[in-house]
Amino acid sequence: MNAATIHDAVRDALTRTLAVVGLGGIALIHLLDAPGQFQSAPYLGWMYVALILGCVAVAAALIRESDAPAWVAAGALALSVIVGYTISRTTGLPQDTGDIGNWGEPLGMASLFVEGSVVALSAGVLASRAERRIAREAYAR
């Protein structure tokens, strides 16, 4: 095994680990916030449950292998939560308008940080793979 292969394996292991920890963080933050959601808008509580299960499933996929669909799913899942947070703070959601303008809520800020990190990491991995694929195809010609 040459140095480049070892470097790539270490980088892949590190990025997958960071993504799994990030997805775990997203799940934990929403687990902590879920009881209040079930009380005020039960559909949001169930959306939190779906998000938590989605984070666990995508994290499991990334633990198994580092394939592009898993990276796309990780980024899309985290991005969808950012969009939901933004909507809840701007126009509000049905049965849940109490958070309009509440941008500084600590758990929400932590959530945005973790979700943004997962989006950035996923985008970086996918872009890097695309660059390497393009370079290999150009070299093969």
Tell me the pLDDT tens digit for each residue of 94-108: 988 888 988 988 999
Instruction: Using the structure block, give the residue that is written with the tokens 């809840």.
Output: 88
Tell me the pLDDT tens digit for each residue of 52-82: 999 999 999 999 999 999 999 999 999 999 9
> What pLDDT is stored for residue 40 in this prediction?
86
**CB 73 within 8 Å of CB 61:** yes
**CB 49 within 8 Å of CB 37:** no
Instruction: Tell me which residue of 74, 110, 87 sits closest to 41, measured CA to CA.
Output: 87
> What pLDDT is stored for residue 2 in this prediction?
82
pLDDT: which is higher, 16 or 98: 16
Round to whole Å and give the CA distance between 89 and 93: 9
Domains contained in the chain, CATH given: 3-140 (1.20.120)
- pTM across the whole model: 0.89
> What pLDDT is stored for residue 1 in this prediction?
67
Whether the CA torsion 54, 57, 63, 68 is positive or negative: it is negative
24, two tokens: 């775990």
Region 35-45: mean pLDDT is 90
